Amino acid sequence: MRRCRITVMRMARYDDLIAQYENPIQHACDLREGQVFITQGWQRSEGLCLSAWESMSPFVLALSHGGEDLYDGWMKNKKSAMISCDDGFRPVSFLIEALEETE
pLDDT tens-digit map of 28-79: 888 999 999 999 877 899 999 888 999 999 999 999 999 999 989 899 999 9
Provide the pLDDT confidence category of residue 103 given band limits of 50, 70 and 90.
very low
Q: What is the pTM of this model?
A: 0.91
Q: How many CA atoms lie within 13 A of 96 on its CB side?
A: 32
Compute how many other C-beta atoms are within 10 angstroms of the C-beta atom of residue 100. 8
CA distance 8 to 11: 8
Residue from 22, 31, 3, 29 nearest 94 by CA:
31
**DSSP 3-state assignment of 64?**
helix
In the chain, alpha helices (H) = 15-21, 50-64
